[in-house]
Structures are given as structure tokens and as C-alpha cells.
Amino acid sequence: MRVLINAVSAKLGGAATYVRNLATSLAELAPPGDEFTFVVPHERGSEMPANGAPIRVVASAAAAGSYAARMWWEQVELRRLLAAERPDVLFSSANFAMLGCPCPQMLLVRIPIYFDVQYLEHVLPAKSPAFRAETALRRWLVCRSVGAADCLMTPTAAMRDDLARFARIRNGRAFVNPYGVPRARLVNGAQGAEKEEAGASRESARPLRLLWVSHYADHKNLRTLLRAVEILQREAPLELWLTLDPAMQGGQHTALAEAERALLARLGASVRLLGVQSYDATWALYRQADVFVFPSLCESFGHPLVEAMGSGLPVVASDIAVHREICGDAAQYFPMLDAGACADALRLLLRDATARRELAARGRQRVLSFLWEDHVTRLLERWRAMAESRSHA
């Protein structure tokens, strides 16, 4: 089986992590004879497994230019690459599919902001007319892409259901395939208990640490978290660690809004801006933190949630369908825009080491349903079925 993976837009964040981990796992898990060609941005090329069977990496600047240039590449230049490579399956890994694809095509839709009601009601109205028009255009193109794909993959049922409010999903074409944590990264029960005991012994020596892992965007709802920390800061010493660049002004990352900058200034030394972290460095942060908090308005999945549970961290998350689907009873939830309720949920865990241990234990059990190897195995099975359907056509 030969698969071409179009990942030209995997420039940062979860998209980059997904493609890098997928290439590594395919090199380990795919049966002999399978071949996979990844088309990635130049900045991701050095992070991919070295070229060689079964992985080949092609670097492309298609997503570095204008939106029109990317569409030209995906509809015209990629078609030429398919003619040369002759893959059995095309995996379009970022929302937009090739129209009239010459081979079976799987489409991964992983951007929630085009479809999520919370984003459309609470964030989009404040955006510029140009931004709202571009969002509408992109939503229309994703819907057209859904119709063009032979198989639609989403990482959660909640993401699929949001998409179905706008796009007609043909029977049998949708495939919910959750992401997950590499098995080798999991903290077992004994290690998790040791982590909690070590944390308890340190409580008198340092403030408890809250951790937030993400890139900055409006739908990440950082403002609610900062307001919650401002409430808690008056009661007891604590630290909030954020994987943000302290000099972030825009460019590669969205610039911090003025409201967030003002809150950060008021919180002062209670907040540490750690900068964008590597994958390994992020896992080290999980091991050093006491509570993980994830206040997003919308997500397609939320890699940090399963990573935190896999690291033995108790989780506090906004009460949205995706977070419930992933964490189940292994998180404390709060209404997504209620800073007071967020503070209440955090306060319970910050004050009660037993509650932290119990929630962390539920997370270690819950994360076994979200293993990365299972995601890749399901993906391989679906690709093979698509390739065989082509050979029998």
C-alpha cells in the first residue's frame, strides 16, 4: 500500500505534533512493503524521521504564501504529484480536500472554529468584517471538501456533530478516530502515587503549580483562566505556567489581546511565560506541575488533555462536549466563561491532595482509551480498506 499524506499546513501546534508522531509511528507499525510520502512545510522537515523506507519526506512552501497559493497547490500542483507518485490513498490531513481526486481520499477535519456554536456566538461577532468573511469562505470550502472525500475522519464525535450542522455527511463516510498518547509516555499507578507524594512534600517549600499548554488563540479562553488565578492569588500562593512567548507580538503566533496583557501585568510573578516548548520539554512540564487546566471554548480534540492524564496530572477543564468526551469523570469541569467557577474548581484541588490523587488516578485509567498506537492502527486499517476498494473497482 502506498499513501501520500498532504500535511503542508502543519506549521505549528497540534498539527505539527500530529504529523511528526504519525510519521514516527508508521515507520514502526506499518507492515513491510507499505510506503508513505509526507508533504510538509520546510520548518517541519528536520523534525521528521529520516528519509528511507517506508517514510519519504517532501518539503513544500505551499502553505507559506497566500491562501490562494495554497489552494492552487492543493488543486493543481498536488494533482501532478499524485500523477507522478501514483499512491493508493491520499490523506488530506488539514480540512481541505482535493476536488475530483484521482485516487481514494481521506479527509481529516480538525479545525473547530468554523463550526462550533460557542466560537460563532462568543468570538466571531467581535472580529473584523474581513475575518468573518474569510471564516465563512473557509467553512464553505471545508463543506465542499467533505462532499469530495471518500472518507471523513474527525478526532471526536463532538467535532463530527458540529461539522454535520453545516455539511452533508454521506452515510458510512464518517470515521471518528481519537488521537492519543504514546504508550511509552504513560505514568503508571505506582509512579503517579510517587509523584503525588513528592508533590505533597514540596507543598511547604513552594507554591502549587497550575499548567496550561497550548498556543494562543481567541478560542483558548486564556482570559477566563487568568481571571480565576487573580481570584485565587488573594487566598494562597500559587504559580501559573503558560507555554507562551513573553515577547509575542504577532507574526508566527497570534498577538496577545490587550485584556490578557493587562491581566498578566496585574498577576506579575504569579505567572511564568515559558515560551513555546518542544514535545519532550512539554512532557517534562507535566511532570513538574500539580494541576493541569484547559479552559478552551472549543476544540476538535485537545492533545494536552490526554497528555496531562497520561502524566498523572489532575485536570480542570471547561465544560464543553469535546472535553467531556475525552476526560469523562477524570476532570473537574466549570462553565466555560465563568472565572469564579473556574477558581472554585481549582481551589478544591489546590487545597485537597487526596482529591488530586483520586482525580489523577481516574485520568490514568481514562487515558488507556486514548492510545496513540491505537489511532495509527485504526488509520492503517481504514487506508488499507480504501486501497483495496480501489483495486476491486
The long-range contacts involving 183-192, CB below 8 angstroms and separated by at least 24 positions, are 183/371, 183/372, 183/373, 185/283, 185/307, 185/310, 185/311, 186/310, 186/364, 186/367, 186/368, 187/310, 187/311, 187/312, 187/364, 188/364, 189/361, 189/364, 191/312, 192/312, 192/360, 192/361, 192/364
Spatial contact of 218 and 131, defined as CB atoms under 8 Å apart: no
Cell of 356: 488530586
Three-class DSSP category at 22: helix
Each residue's pLDDT tens digit, 45-96: 777 776 666 888 888 887 777 777 888 888 999 999 999 999 999 999 988 9
Residue 205 banded pLDDT, cuts 50, 70, 90: low
- What φ, ψ does residue 323 adopt, rounded to 5°? -65, -40
Q: Using one digit for the tens of pLDDT, what is the confidence trace for 125-183?
A: 999 999 999 999 999 999 999 999 999 999 999 999 999 999 999 888 899 999 999 99
> Is residue 32 predicted with pLDDT exceeding 70?
yes
- Does 371 score more than 60 pLDDT? yes
300 grid coordinates: 476538535
pLDDT digits (tens, 9 = 90+) for 232-288: 998 888 999 999 876 654 444 456 788 898 999 999 999 999 998 888 899 999 999
Query: Which residue has 498577538 as its cell numbers?
Result: 255
Rg (CA), the chain: 21
pLDDT digits (tens, 9 = 90+) for 274-326: 998 888 899 999 999 999 999 999 999 999 999 999 999 999 999 999 999 99
* Residue 189 burial (CB count, 10 A): 12
Q: What pLDDT shows up at residue 248?
A: 58
Q: How many CB atoms lie within 10 A of CB 34?
A: 19
- Condensed to tens digits (0 to 9), the pLDDT of residues 329-357 reads 999 999 999 999 999 999 999 999 999 99
Contact assessment for residue 382 and residue 388, using Cβ atoms and an 8 Å cutoff: no
CATH second-level architecture of 183-369? 3-Layer(aba) Sandwich (3.40)
Q: Return the beta strands (E) in the chain as ranges.
A: 2-6, 35-41, 55-60, 89-92, 105-108, 151-154, 174-176, 208-212, 238-242, 271-273, 291-294, 315-318, 332-334
pTM exceeds 0.75: yes
Do the Cβ atoms of 108 and 95 come closer than 8 Å? Answer: yes
Residue 324: per-residue pLDDT: 98
What is the reported pLDDT for 249? 45
Rounded to 5 degrees, what are φ and ψ at 211? -125, 135
Average pLDDT score over residue span 201-210: 72
Q: Does domain 2-180+371-392 have CATH number 3.40.50.2000?
A: yes
Question: What pLDDT is attached to residue 70?
Answer: 80
Q: Considering the chain, what percentage of its residues have pLDDT values greater than 90?
A: 66
Rounded Cα distance between 167 and 169, Å, is 6
Q: Smallest Cα–Cα separation from 319: which of 297, 340, 303?
A: 297
Q: How many CB atoms lie within 10 A of CB 256?
A: 20
The pLDDT assigned to 254 comes to 55
Using CB atoms within 10 Å of the CB of residue 125, give its burial: 0 to 12 exposed, 13 to 18 middle, 19+ buried.
exposed
Say yes or no: do domains 2-180+371-392 and 183-369 share a fold: yes
Burial of 368 (0-12, 13-18, 19+ CB in 10 A): middle
pLDDT value of residue 300: 92
- What average pLDDT does the segment 192-205 reach? 54
pLDDT at 253: 45
What's the mean per-residue pLDDT of the chain? 89
What residues does each domain of the chain span? Answer: 2-180+371-392, 183-369
Cell numbers 507554591: residue? 207
